Amino acid sequence: MPTSEITLYGAHWCPDCRRSKQFLGEHQIPYDWIDIEEDPAAEQLVIEKNQGKRIIPTIVFADGSFLVEPSNAELAAKLGLKTTASRSHYDLIVLGGGPAGLTAALYTAREAIDTLVIERAAFGGQAAGTEKLDNMPGFPDGVAGIEFSNRLRQQAERFGVELLQAQEVAGVGIHDNYKFVRTGDGSQYTARALLIATGSRYKRLNVPGENEYIGAGVHFCATCDGPFYKGKQIAVIGGGNSATEESLLLTKFADQVTILVRGGEFKATRIIQDKVLSHPKIQVRWHTEVKEFIGAESKLTHLRVQDNRSGQEETIPKDGAFIFIGLVPNTKFLEDSGILLNRWGFIVSGHNLVHGGSRPAGYRKRDPFLLETSLPGVFAAGDVRDASTKQVVSAAGEGSTAALAIREYLRLN
């Protein structure tokens, strides 16, 4: 029986169903998933809606309306997501609507600086996908990541920030005195200043089967996909803070969580390690590497793992696998921008750009402001920035710091 306002009817082997699931998951939109191959009544409903044809995905909404095999753009439009800006030019365009971007935007908009935020997924970034933020100052009992993100979004809206969603930034640059931003739909917007706050994303293992089974057994977000594994057996890959914290969350759904750790110990805080190691539903396998994700009918069923000391391989049955092995910065779209990145792709900023008194080209009369990139007037904040501390509070703090520097930049230019 569906419990959400959106029901996605599909089958586990269907790539368009996976794409729609991924879109809804990334936008933090609750939905019920029904595999029509396991539910004859649901299959009949799909056939009725499609005049005798069995077409999936069929997505049914609370008012009875439905979409059949929608593109992401059609789905965004149906969900009322704003994907096009009202103007083509702004004082400031913020790339990324996570804690850094939204905090910067509410600071600048509050000071009457025209601000557009462009976000490709859900507002709140990684914070929105975190079950509970326990270290937020001012929240003695912690706060759910989604609640914090909604509050941040509402606050930005209150100050008049224009927000675009389901729109990916594909490139940035400088043309004459203006900075421009290209989005995935081919639109181009200009601004007097830019703030890059695109954060980072989960690293992948890059082993056979991983891409194939994403959304069909391989996941990177326990909050989004954990509820699909009620009463199931799952694996978590990784040994750091994310892997251990998310394993604890997954025990709420799964019957058994097996953590596969490449090394011989966790790289997580002692308090979390203790909780994990004493949890009755959690099992840990040290010195274990995943070599392949194996499935049947496009659904993950097994993991081929290897003991990296003995070399011995084993195939273990699992209904799902959650990968938490680190982060990579979301900076691919900056490749041709001229913005200096460090060797891992994070953005270099501020005084780290000045070496022995020599500044990057473009900075003839002054040093870069704090959080300004190698392109004057283009700033960076949060997890995407080299040397950032990868925390919500510091990302928000960097957002406010960048906003104040941008205010000064706009005053001078």
Q: In the complex with ligand FAD, which residue's Cβ is closer, 134 or 408?
A: 134
| Residues in Cβ contact with 109 at an 8 Å cutoff, skipping those fewer than 6 apart | 115, 156, 159, 160, 161
Q: In the complex with ligand FAD, which residue's Cβ is closer, 139 or 363?
A: 139
Residues forming a β-bridge with 282 = 257
Say how many C-beta atoms besides its own lie within 10 A of residue 90's C-beta: 24
Q: In the complex with ligand FAD, which residue's Cβ is closer, 372 or 383?
A: 383
| Shortest CB 92 distance to ligand FAD, Å | 15
Residues forming a β-bridge with 10 = 35
Assign 3-class secondary structure to 5-74.
CEEEEECCCCHHHHHHHHHHHHCCCCCEEEEHHHCHHHHHHHHHHCCCCCCCCEEEECCCCEEECCCHHH
Q: In the complex with ligand FAD, which residue's Cβ is closer, 182 or 262?
A: 182
Q: In the complex with ligand FAD, which residue's Cβ is closer, 152 or 290?
A: 152
Q: Tell me if residue 63 is catalytic.
A: no
| Shortest CB 20 distance to ligand FAD, Å | 18
| Shortest CB 335 distance to ligand FAD, Å | 12
| Shortest CB 339 distance to ligand FAD, Å | 13
Q: Tell me if residue 224 is catalytic.
A: yes
Handedness of CA 240, 287, 311, 300 (dihedral sign): negative
| Shortest CB 19 distance to ligand FAD, Å | 17
| Shortest CB 79 distance to ligand FAD, Å | 16
Q: In the complex with ligand FAD, which residue's Cβ is closer, 300 or 371?
A: 371
Residues forming a β-bridge with 92 = 115, 193
Choose the catalytic residue: 225, 319, 383, 386.
225
CA neighbours closer than 13 Å in the CB half-sphere of residue 141: 1
Q: In the complex with ligand FAD, which residue's Cβ is closer, 98 or 209?
A: 98
Separation in Å, CA 33 to CA 63, 139, 223, 311: 17, 34, 15, 39
C-alpha–C-alpha distance, residues 364 and 386, integer Å:
23
Tokens of 220: 């990177």
C-alpha–C-alpha distance, residues 235 and 247, integer Å:
9
Tokens of 49: 């809606």
DSSP element (H, E) containing 154 = helix 145-158
Q: Tell me if residue 14 is catalytic.
A: no
Choose the catalytic residue: 224, 319, 383, 386.
224
| Shortest CB 222 distance to ligand FAD, Å | 7
C-alpha–C-alpha distance, residues 77 and 224, integer Å:
22
CA-closest candidate to residue 215, choices 33, 4, 74, 367: 33
The alpha-carbon radius of gyration of the chain (Å, integer) is 23
Choose the catalytic residue: 221, 319, 383, 386.
221
Please answer whether residues 299 and 217 qualify as being in contact, where contact means their C-beta atoms are separated by less than 8 angstroms.
yes
Give the footprint of ligand FAD on this chain (CB under 6 A). Answer: 95-101, 118-121, 125-127, 130, 133-135, 168-169, 197-200, 242, 246, 330, 333, 382-384, 390-393, 395
| Active-site residue set | 221, 224-225
